[in-house]
Amino acid sequence: MSHAVLCGDFASDQDPEEEWSVEGFRSAEAAAEYARRFVRDQVEHLRGAYPDARALRQAFLMFGEYAIAPGLELQPWLEHCIANPATRKADTDYQALDPDR
């Protein structure tokens, strides 16, 4: 059984043309880890321009790209990422987990 992550762009207000699926994960946990790193990467890219937690949260929800996978609750994960900046490349390296690589 293959698992997938649904990704999209908040700026496009859930336009189906701006959503894509990353498929082929061997487990739900692998898909969730990809989604976690994807979201964290988005937060870290915005952090420099929006250092305040409230502004960073708002910027992510307006301009960021999301990832949805079974087992990942986006809102609590977003709060974790905002409160705890990434400290290692692996924290944000979602591309390394892409099944198509």
CA distance 31 to 35: 6
CA distance 3 to 71: 12
3-state secondary structure of 9: strand
How do beta strands 65-68 and 3-9 pair? antiparallel
In eight-state DSSP terms, residue 50 is: -
Domain ranges in the chain are: 3-95
- pLDDT for 10: 87
CB distance 74 to 39 below 8 Å: yes
- pLDDT for 20: 93
Give the predicted TM-score (pTM) of the model: 0.93
Tens digit of pLDDT per residue, the chain (101 long)? 799 999 999 887 767 778 999 999 999 999 999 999 999 999 999 999 998 999 999 999 999 999 999 999 999 999 999 999 999 999 999 999 999 87
Query: What contacts 82, CB < 8 A, 6 or more positions away?
Result: 43, 53, 56, 57, 60
**Comparing C-alpha atoms, which of 59, 44, 24, 23 is closest to residue 90?**
44
- pLDDT for 94: 97
- pLDDT for 57: 97
